[in-house]
């Protein structure tokens, strides 16, 4: 089954993209979805392994993967986005370690966003 759209998180990219020899991320992502998205914060969070970042960059160049963030949202959409993010962050993010789980919280927020806004944004 191939999805029309998916959003990936840091763990997925790091684990699937960990092999320099077997470039699974480059092979798998186009088979999973017609279009894949990664939030800019998640993209920036992935630094190692270098081969994972290389594969992500290749997928971006091939337009299989697109980097998204809230800068593309209209004012009302930003308010909804921020409110949903804060609700998720309250449960998922430890105030003593604010960066921990951010790579999981943001993709989850994008999925929770009103689908019509996401579809418009991601066309």
pLDDT digits (tens, 9 = 90+) for 61-84: 999 999 988 887 788 777 777 777
Residue-level pLDDT at 99: 58
pLDDT higher at 104 or 79: 79
Domain 3-121's class? alpha beta
User: Cα dist. 72→35, 42, 84, 114, 119 in Å?
Assistant: 17, 16, 16, 14, 12
Residue-level pLDDT at 101: 57
Residue-level pLDDT at 76: 79
Question: Residue ranges per domain, the chain?
Answer: 3-121
Q: Is 3's pLDDT higher than 50? A: yes
């Amino acid at each position: 089954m191939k999805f029309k759209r998916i959003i990936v998180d840091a763990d997925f990219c790091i684990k699937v993209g960990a092999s320099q020899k077997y470039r699974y991320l480059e092979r798998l992502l186009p088979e999973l979805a017609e279009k894949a998205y990664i939030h800019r914060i998640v993209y920036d969070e992935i630094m190692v392994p270098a081969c994972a970042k290389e594969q992500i960059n290749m997928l971006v160049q091939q337009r299989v993967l697109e980097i998204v963030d809230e800068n593309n949202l209209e004012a009302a959409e930003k308010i909804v986005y921020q409110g949903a993010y804060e609700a998720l962050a309250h449960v998922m993010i430890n105030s003593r370690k604010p960066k921990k789980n951010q790579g999981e919280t943001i993709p989850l927020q994008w999925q929770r966003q009103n689908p019509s806004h996401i579809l418009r944004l991601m066309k």
